[in-house]
Amino acid sequence: MPESTKVIVRNAREQDIPAVVEIDTEAFSSEGSAEKLATFQRRLIAFPNGFVILVAGNEIAAYGCSEKRLEEGEHGVGNIPGQTHQPDGRLFRITALAVRKDLQRRGYGSLVLDRLIETAHLEGCRRVVVETAQAQEFFVKRGFQTVQERTQRSVSLDDMSLDLKSINLIP
Ligand SMILES: CC(C)(COP(=O)(O)OP(=O)(O)OC[C@H]1O[C@@H](n2cnc3c(N)ncnc32)[C@H](O)[C@@H]1OP(=O)(O)O)[C@@H](O)C(=O)NCCC(=O)NCCS
């Protein structure tokens, strides 16, 4: 892609989801955690502000999606069992973030992550969390720390966390 390629990060729309599924499958099927189209549709309906895509030129090159959860000890209104996104929650969980393989290492993942961190802040969240098998260094560069290491379905995962109070979001 040429140096002058126009790059924008915007909220995802229903029609973007097939491209998101393609990127997700490429990124996560080897570790058994790729998601179905219906899962992304549900996430978009539940929390549209927390679902973003990056368009480079005319192509969708990356996406990031998220949900709000209640922190331990936090009592929110509308805490429905089985419902993962909780609008009153103050824990911002990145459910997935990926960049098309052939377009990685161009700063696109960082642009998506920065947008999600900004959204978390605007949504009044205190902490951003993510679990990752492969991208610890990427998150460490944005200030995340590993809080727990564990193994799930034979894949070793880091639970990582960023305290929003510890970073300055105003340039
Ligand atoms: C992790 C991922 C989103 C990074 O996106 P990207 O566009 O390639 O990353 P960037 O170009 O913005 O890189 C930002 C920094 O992180 C570093 N980085 C990126 N991916 C890295 C990796 N896999 N390992 C080590 N460092 C990495 C880059 O070197 C860069 O550092 P710099 O600013 O000092 O040059 C991308 O590699 C990806 O889609 N991976 C597969 C899916 C995944 O693991 N997602 C995260 C868990 S949900």
pLDDT tens figures, 128-157:
999 999 999 999 999 999 999 998 878 889
Residue 171 lies in a domain: no
Q: Looking at the 3D structure of the chain, how many domains does it have?
A: 1
- Beta strand pairing status for 145-152 and 127-132? unpaired
pLDDT of 84 reads 85
pLDDT of 79 reads 53
Residue 49 lies in a domain: yes
Nearest atom within ligand 1 for CA of residue 95: 48
Is residue 2 very low, low, confident or very high in pLDDT (cuts 50, 70, 90)? low
What does pTM read for this prediction?
0.93
Nearest atom within ligand 1 for CA of residue 99: 39
CA of 23 to the centre of ligand 1 (A): 14
Contact 100, 106 (CB under 8 A): no
With the most atoms of ligand 1 within 8 angstroms of its CB, the residue from 24, 40, 101, 105 to mutate is 105
Q: Which two tokens stand for residue 10?
A: 């915007």
Query: With b meaning 16 or more CB within 10 Å and e meaning fewer, what string describes 144-154?
Result: beeeeeeeeee
Residue 156 lies in a domain: yes
Per-residue pLDDT averaged across 84-103, rounded? 95
Q: Is 98 helix (H, G, I), strand (E, B) or coil?
A: strand
CATH number at residue 48: 3.40.630.30
Residue 1 lies in a domain: no
DSSP conformation class of 102? G
DSSP conformation class of 10? E
With the most atoms of ligand 1 within 8 angstroms of its CB, the residue from 138, 159, 160 to mutate is 138
CA of 138 to the centre of ligand 1 (A): 5
CA of 49 to the centre of ligand 1 (A): 23
Residues spanned by the domain of 71? 7-77+84-166
